Amino acid sequence: MKVYIDFKCPFTNRFHAFVNLVREEKTVEIEWASFSLDEHNRSAEQPIWEQETLTKNPSVLTLAGLEEIKQRDADRVEDYVHATFLAWHSKESSPELDDVQQLLDKFSIEVEPKHFKAVQASHEQAAALNIVGSPSLLVNDQAAPLFIKLDHVPEDVVTSWQTIVAMANNDAVLELKQPS
């Protein structure tokens, strides 16, 4: 399963916590993929990939870190994902640039232009799939991506996981919404 994420999204953080609980009871393989909410929601004409402030954007920088560690050390991806969600959601405010740099240093991550290009490529792939938010699940090539927002982590995590995967696998399902 491929899951498109932006670390700063609180729904994605909740989804990550949910997946970790599911993993306590069953094997779940996830490929984490970059989806920039800053790019998705941008109001400027210029894409964020072309903006001078790109390397100072904590959200995109943590996604570039994900792309770097995926390329360099696949065994540490889950540790990086976990630490990055903690960096984004364990405090009342978003991490500052120094906090992000400390996170990258902890994993010996050296972000280069090719890693920002990898974020851009992943984001553009997500956009081509009509992904609208984070997290979005892509279970197979035939079904549409499933954007999921959890209000809380469900009590019966395995049954909930099986239901979500079944919905994501069903190519007849285009959208499922519950009024909030």
Query: Which tens digit of pLDDT belongs to each residue from 111-133?
Result: 999 999 999 999 999 999 999 99
Please state whether beta strands 31-34 and 136-138 pair in parallel, antiparallel, or not at all (unpaired).
unpaired
Residue 96 DSSP label: P
173 pLDDT above the threshold of 90:
no
* pLDDT score recorded for residue 175: 77
- Give how far Cα 38 sits from Cα of 11, 61, 146, 172, Å: 15, 12, 20, 30
Q: How far apart are CA 4 and CA 2, in angstroms?
A: 7
Q: Which domains does the chain have, with CATH numbers?
A: 2-169 (3.40.30.10)
**pLDDT tens-digit series, residues 34-62:** 999 999 999 889 999 999 889 999 999 99
Q: How far apart are CA 137 and CA 32, in angstroms?
A: 10
Q: Which two tokens stand for residue 145?
A: 């991506």
Average pLDDT, the chain: 94
